[in-house]
Amino acid sequence: MRAIVAKRVDRGDADLDEIKELARAAGHEVVGELTQTREEDAAYGFGEGKVEELAALTVDRDAEAVIVDNRLGPYQTYNIGGKLPEGVEVVDRFTLILDIFGQRARTRKAQLQVELAELRYELPRAEAKTSLAKRDERPGFMGLGEYDESRERDIKNQIADIKRELDSIADKEATRRERRRESGFDLVALAGYTNAGKSTLMRRLAADLDVDENEDRHPDLETTAESEDRLFTTLGTTTRRADTGRRDVLLTDTVGFVSDLPHWLVESFESTLDSVYHADLVLLVVDASEPVEEMREKLVTCHDTLYERNEAPIVTVLNKIDRVDDDEFAEKREALSALAPNPVAVSGLTGERVDELRDRIERELPDWQFERLVLPVSDDAMSLVSWVHDHGNVEAEEYEGEQLTLEFEAPPSVVERARAKAGDLAAVESV
């Protein structure tokens, strides 16, 4: 669809780069752009004269949509639409983002989250659309259909139903996380803005294609983590085994942040962010090739989102260093030292310094416990030894006569289970 992008700012110059990327991500062809610097107009957002200029531009460029990089109220949307040629759609920033989410939602969980966000966006507009539709000669509001008095109640009921289903999915995922920890896995989450290179970095760290969930496999566990240069490629979550050395790590890639998201949209995707909030370690990935002010703004937003609920250590990963020369990178690192005091610099694309990131992951993960077990030599004891090898790091395995000594490090949950198994073996031996 051919589209004009437009943006109003109170002061300074309007930046259209991100909205153009978003428009292209949604499948639009950007054929024109328009900006205005002035206070917001209650009726149109823009000044009325600027809206008339926008209408002329849509005719000149044969545009089918106008994408506004601002939050438009229902009356403003209606008024702008009234100035445009018939059939030209008015899309604000958040409607565009929801459209992209809808296109990328491949799993039941992602589809529910998109639907929840759409309903939360629509709810405060339902009453306005009703009144506008009644006074408008055309049916419905901007071609969106009739709204009767029960529409608001229907939306609230739908929101409640979706939240219940998402809560059920969240409960199953919480159980899965605990089962993974009990199996000796550390949980590491990738967070950051969209297009920071999280999926590319994940492919570099991955030890295999995906996590075998057997019959309990959750649909959000994709077999691949896409790494295309487009916004919102990763909408659901992708979990893979990661090769970091001696630790067994599950690495989860999540939906990327995007600037200026309203709280209702963030809340709609809260269950996806649970994989970040409940991780043992968070890797906050930042695109090091961006201007330093943009990097700073994104770091502040990410910190506000993550530190509010996250208890795990957060390591800043400055990615895409292959696109930055040494002097420029040094200046950026110094400028951001207050927000990222000890970052790891890598290139997920080329693999440069990724080994340093693996070492850092090992150091930042929760400490393992040391344990020493003395066991009677038997088939059951050998099964326990094999299990410890799979779930921990064996430092010594010595055999003397009819007993063996096993020294190892492992997560506390694994140590506890190993002790219990060893206790069972000792009880059997004494019978």
Which of the four pLDDT bands, split at 50, 70 and 90, describes residue 215? Answer: very low
Give the per-residue pLDDT at 133.
Answer: 55
Give the range with max mean pLDDT: 248-262, 271-285, 409-423: 409-423
The reported pTM is 0.64
Instruction: Find out whether 214 is annotated in a ligand binding site.
Output: no
Instruction: Find out whether 167 is annotated in a ligand binding site.
Output: no
Instruction: Find out whether 273 is annotated in a ligand binding site.
Output: no
Helix (H, G, I), strand (E, B) or coil at 228: coil
Instruction: Find out whether 198 is annotated in a ligand binding site.
Output: yes
What pLDDT, in 10s, does the model give residues 109-156?
A: 878 888 888 888 888 777 666 665 555 554 444 444 455 567 778 888
Instruction: Find out whether 277 is annotated in a ligand binding site.
Output: no
What pLDDT, in 10s, does the model give residues 312-352?
A: 889 999 999 999 999 999 999 999 999 999 999 999 999 99
Instruction: Find out whether 197 is annotated in a ligand binding site.
Output: yes
Per CATH, the homologous superfamily of domain 2-102 is GTPase HflX, N-terminal domain (3.40.50.11060)
Q: Backbone phi, then psi, for 304, in 5-degree steps?
A: -60, -40
Which of the four pLDDT bands, split at 50, 70 and 90, describes residue 262? Answer: low
Taking residues 156-170, report their average pLDDT: 90
The fold adopted by the segment(s) 183-364 is Rossmann fold (3.40.50)
Which of the four pLDDT bands, split at 50, 70 and 90, describes residue 212? Answer: very low
* Neighbour count for residue 413 (Cβ, 10 Å): 17
**223-261 in b/e burial notation, b at 16+ Cβ within 10 A?**
eebebeeebbbbbbbbbbbbebeebbbbbbbbbbbbeeb
Question: 369-430: what CATH class?
Answer: alpha beta
Instruction: Find out whether 288 is annotated in a ligand binding site.
Output: no
Mean pLDDT of the chain: 82
Instruction: Find out whether 321 is annotated in a ligand binding site.
Output: yes
Instruction: Find out whether 44 is annotated in a ligand binding site.
Output: no
Instruction: Find out whether 254 is annotated in a ligand binding site.
Output: yes
Is pLDDT of 357 > 60?
Answer: yes
DSSP β-bridge partners for residue 396 = 407
Q: What whole-number distance in Å separates Cα of residue 128 and Cα of residue 142?
A: 12
Is pLDDT of 10 > 90?
Answer: yes
Instruction: Find out whether 349 is annotated in a ligand binding site.
Output: yes
Distance of CA 51 to the CA centre of its chain: 35
Give the per-residue pLDDT at 213.
Answer: 34
Give the per-residue pLDDT at 38.
Answer: 95
Which of the four pLDDT bands, split at 50, 70 and 90, describes residue 36? Answer: very high
Instruction: Find out whether 234 is annotated in a ligand binding site.
Output: yes
Instruction: Find out whether 348 is annotated in a ligand binding site.
Output: yes
Instruction: Find out whether 271 is annotated in a ligand binding site.
Output: no
Long-range contacts of 303-309 (CB under 8 A, 24+ apart): 303/339, 305/257, 305/266, 305/273, 306/191, 306/276, 306/282, 309/277
Instruction: Find out whether 195 is annotated in a ligand binding site.
Output: yes
- Tell which residue, 361, 107, 93, has the closest CA to residue 234: 107
Which one-letter amino acid corresponds to residue 380? D
Instruction: Find out whether 347 is annotated in a ligand binding site.
Output: yes
The angle at the Cα of 423, spanning 421 to 427, to the nearest 5 degrees, equals 120
